[in-house]
């Protein structure tokens, strides 16, 4: 992943207020300020050391409970894996956290990237502030934070909405795809076009990703994880991989345009009636995908 795209560090990690442009005369050694009956969001966990860096890896957040994925670096800039992480969220850094949720370290091909995921409830559109407190394997507690933008809704299908039926390339009908699949070796999820899969009366797992041309380093591991899930042999679910680009990465594939994606990868879980059950943006974990498929 390109750090310039998501290294949006806030004040908790940097030792300044969480919202850029705010200022505070508080002595860091002073007890945390109280706001509405508890510590303010920017003063969460006063006993924790500063310097935890959050790497915003989520391309889109919407009002409601939204999946949020992020990377973690320790104060030395090294990936922080296998930590016990809690996220605190709220629209006002000077107010109390409106939500406190655990974050899970993603397993599978992205484990070494120190990517975590949490289900965060967002009550309104606009800027939100996320503070993270991590307890390392060695027992140290460190904290950091990030400002994110929450949208009122999404241009792409949300859970509860119908999946978009669109033809996608298969081995017998490339429709201009070059290549059909950029994974090496080629995955086995190009047997059925997406429109046919959605009309087939079975749940569908579809991943939109380009292992060889991805703008981040997550597409390859995502396709590997979905392929491994397919290879478990559950024939009650249809698996489809849509290569995100045509002409060796030079042109966005028509299916991604139809689904109105501005980024990739995306992985969707769709029920037998063609209704979206879950959507996983960016990096995903093997256990996370297994749990999502189990809901079907």
Q: What is the pLDDT of residue 214?
A: 84
| Cis amide bond preceding 103, omega within 30 | no
Per-residue pLDDT reduced to its tens digit, 145-155: 999 999 999 99
pLDDT, residue 5, reads 33
Q: pLDDT, tens digit, for every residue of 34-63?
A: 333 357 888 899 999 999 999 988 889 999
Q: pLDDT tens-digit profile of 87-144?
A: 999 999 999 999 999 999 998 888 888 999 999 999 999 999 999 999 999 999 999 9
Tokens found for residue 168: 């996608």
**Residue percentage of the chain with pLDDT more than 90:** 71
- The string of pLDDT tens digits covering residues 156-166 is 999 999 999 99
For residue range 169-178, list pLDDT tens digits in order: 998 899 888 8
What pTM did the predictor assign?
0.84
pLDDT digits (tens, 9 = 90+) for 268-278: 999 999 999 99
Which 3-state string (H, E, C) describes the chain?
Answer: CCHHHHCCCCHHHHCCCCCCCCCCCCCCCCCCCEECCEECHHHCCCCCEECCEEEECCCCCECEEEEEEEEEECCCCCECCCCEEEEEEECCCCCCCCEEEEEEECCCCCHHHCEEEEEEEECCCEEEEEEEEEECCCCCEEEEEEEEEEECCCCCCCCCCECCCCCCCECCECCCCCCCCCCCCCCCCCCCCHHHHHCCCCCEEEEEECCCCCCCCCHHHHHHHHHHHHCCCCCCCEEEEEECEECCCCEECHHHHHCCCCCCCEEEEECCCCEEEEEEECCCCHHHHHHHHHCC
In this prediction, residues 184-206 reach a mean pLDDT of 97
Q: Would you state the pLDDT for residue 24?
A: 33
Instruction: Please report the pLDDT score of residue 4 as a whole number.
Output: 30
Q: Which two tokens stand for residue 36?
A: 């509405």
């Amino acid at each position: 992943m390109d750090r310039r795209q998501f290294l949006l560090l806030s004040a908790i990690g940097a030792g300044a207020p969480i919202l850029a442009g705010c200022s505070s005369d508080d002595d860091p050694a002073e007890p945390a300020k109280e706001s509405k009956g508890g510590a303010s969001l920017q003063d969460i966990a006063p006993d924790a050391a500063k310097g935890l860096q959050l790497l915003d890896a989520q391309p889109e957040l919407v009002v409601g409970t939204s999946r949020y994925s992020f990377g973690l670096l320790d104060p030395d800039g090294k990936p922080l894996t296998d930590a016990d992480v809690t996220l605190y969220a709220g629209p006002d850094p000077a107010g109390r956290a409106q939500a406190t949720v655990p974050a899970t370290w993603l397993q599978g091909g992205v484990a070494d990237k120190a990517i975590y995921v949490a289900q965060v409830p967002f009550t309104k559109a606009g800027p939100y502030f996320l503070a993270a407190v991590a307890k390392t394997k060695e027992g140290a507690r460190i904290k950091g934070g990030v400002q994110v933008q929450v949208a009122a809704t999404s241009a792409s299908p949300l859970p509860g909405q119908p999946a978009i039926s669109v033809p996608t390339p298969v081995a017998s009908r490339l429709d201009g795809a070059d290549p059909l699949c950029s994974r090496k070796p080629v995955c086995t999820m190009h047997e059925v076009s997406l429109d046919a899969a959605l009309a087939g009366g079975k749940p569908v797992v579809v991943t939109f990703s380009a292992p060889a041309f991805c703008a981040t380093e997550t597409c390859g591991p995502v396709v590997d994880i979905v392929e491994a899930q397919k290879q478990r042999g559950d024939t009650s679910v249809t698996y489809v991989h849509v290569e995100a680009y045509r002409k060796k990465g030079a042109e966005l594939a028509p299916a991604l345009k139809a689904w109105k994606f501005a980024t990739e990868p995306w992985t969707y879980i769709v029920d037998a009636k063609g209704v979206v059950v879950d959507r996983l943006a960016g990096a995903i974990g093997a256990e996370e995908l297994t749990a999502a498929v189990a809901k079907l």
